Structure 1
Amino acid sequence: MAGPTTARRGATTSRSGPPAPPGARRFRLPRPRLRLRRPGRRGVIIIAVLAALLGGFGAWALYGSDWLRLESVRAAGTQVLTPREVVAAAAAPLHTPLASVDTDAIEHRLLARLPRIKRVEVTRSWPHTLGLEVTERTPELLLQTNGKFEEVDGEGVRFATVARAPKGVPLLTLTVSDPAGSRRFGTGRLLRAAVAVARDLPPAVRPDVRSVRVRSYDAISLELAGGRTVLWGSSEQGAEKAKVLAALLKAARDARHFDISVPSAPAVSGS
């Protein structure tokens, strides 16, 4: 019977193959080690020179060569303005490096020269083009002065004067009889209140609105086609008033006067 020593020796033999001859030495092969050689001083200098050359070439390509210069400017998104008007107002510096074009300066120049533009996005389109994506202001109301019409947008901004009234835009009439109320609210605030009413008009009713009249902050009225009138009141609760007005116009088709200044208790009269 094999003792513990024989069992251990047998186990060792089974793991390592045939038993070694008496007196033989076991050798272990060294494990390979992966060593990364750091570049020497000469290699570092070569890498630095190559990086400098590439950087210099890139700078030259952007600013010194004719490869990436501004050759054309394109405008898009215009409705009333023409692309040619927008490009002329931008005054972009043609034949200069596209990378050096000051896009912020062009944006500010367009907003200052063309108030009809609400916002504009100026983008570089490599290799030779500058893009101008324009969003124009749209009129919510018109102010008539000296036979012409001043367009007012949804923010209360007077942005353009035109000879003909755009179709479907109500006329705004400011008839403030109370000087104290005018001083208290100011023309600007009254104008913004009227614009808020125009924005809240139901889509089905808007084509029939001929004018918006402001007598005071709490007395805004509408004149509809066919001589019908609507007492709107203040600009508050506009969405609720719009729903009530749309329902009344359907339910009382023969009525001439509608009072929705208190939307929870509307009234109609005339036939």
Structure 2
Amino acid sequence: MAGPTTAERGERQQESSGPPRTRRFGRMRPRTIVILSLTVLLLNAGSLWVLYGSEWTHVKRVSVSGTRVLTPEEVRAVARVRPGSPLISVDTDRVAARLRRELPRIDSVGVERSWPDGIELKVVERTPVMVEEKGGKFVEVDRDGVRFATVSQAPKGVPVLELSLSRSNSAAASLRRFGESRLVREAVTVAGRIPAAVARETRAVKVRTYDDISLELSDGRTVAWGSGEDSGLKARALTALMKATPEARHFDVRVPTAPASSGS
């Protein structure tokens, strides 16, 4: 009588070897699960202790960088990051929002954790491009037209805004159409594009109407600028014009493609 074929022997071996292996894995699986679960719990507990319980990761220092007018002490006082608190618990977004709200001089600020025990406050202060004189003091205005600080003395090299809104029909119409805030923004645009060499000599930015903005330099020279439109072209035209006619006292770049100068 013929014996079992090779296929039949393979099937019998698989049947005989399969169940014991499954049973062995079945006996090991609950123990493995328990061990893995305990390991995960211990790792989580250890991580939580390191982050919250260990003094190694508690705040010990708050560093400040980027300040020019503000002092690091002022910034730290407003940030109100409590020493000894867990570093992970510091709400960096809330600290940044508080600094911008309570210190308007701050344009932007980065609040970063510096592991294992520090907070870094990276400050960018607003830069005044113009000041407004009010009540014997000066309100600083940045490139975006934001009035951010009042100081007793005008910063050196920063022109004073003079809103010389006459009672003429054109001035009244300009004020009604654009409003004072828009006229100030136009002046800011001009102040931000004045060539560096001229900006150092600019004493005042005068605004009569939207398209009648002029500069008064410290030595009495004047520049008719017009509106804030095409200020980049006007700046280049003014630089070239001043080089070509250094003795002139009055410059006109209202039409930058046809600048003019006059006077001695």
Instruction: Write out per-residue CA displacement over residues 41-84 of structure 1, whole angstroms, 9 at most, x where no aligned residue.
Output: 11221111111111111112212332311122111111111111
Higher helix share: 2
| TM-score normalised according to structure 2 size | 0.86
- 1:192 is matched with which residue? 185
Deviations 1:135-158 (A, max 9, x none): 000000010111111110011001
Letter in 2 for 1:77: G
Name the SS of the counterpart of 2:248 in structure 1.
coil
1:202 aligns with 2:198: no
In structure 2, runs of 5+ residues without a counterpart are 1-20
Total equivalences in the alignment: 238
Partner of 1:258: 251
| Pairwise CA distance, 1:40 | 2.1
| 1:114 equivalenced with 2:107 (yes/no) | no
Matches within 5 A, 1:82-231: 82-177=71-166, 178-231=171-224
Structure 1 residue ranges (4+ consecutive) displaced by more than 4 angstroms after TM superposition: none
Superposed, which structure 2 residues align to 1:231-270 within 5 Å?
231-270=224-263
Corresponding position of 2:53 = 64
Q: How does 1:38-53 map to 2 (within 5 A)?
A: 39-53=28-42
Q: What is the TM-score with the length of structure 1 in the denominator? A: 0.84
Amino acid at match of 1:156: G
Q: Which runs of 5+ in 1 are unaligned?
A: 1-34
Alignment root-mean-square deviation, CA:
1.8
CA distance in 2 between counterparts of 1:92 and 1:60 reads 21
Task: Give the partner amino acid of 1:195.
Answer: V
Distance 1:270 1:245 in 2: 16
Residues of 2 paired with 1:142 and 1:180: CA distance? 25
- Bigger radius of gyration among the two: 1
SS of 2:149's equivalent in the other structure is strand
Query: 1:74 is matched with which residue?
Result: 63
- Which AA in structure 2 matches 1:205? V
Distance in 2, matches of 1:67 and 1:48, equals 27
Percent identity (aligned) = 53
How big is the shift at 1:249?
0.9
Distance in 2 separating the partners of 1:183 and 1:103? 44
| CA deviation map 1:133-191 (0-9, x unaligned) | 00000000010111111110011001111111111111111122233321211122111
Which range is displaced more, 44-53 or 176-185?
A: 176-185
Query: 1:7 matched to which residue of 2?
Result: none
Deviation at 1:258, TM superposition (A): 1.2
| 1:78-134 Cα deviation digits (max 9, x unpaired) | 111111111011111222111011111100110011111000000111121111000
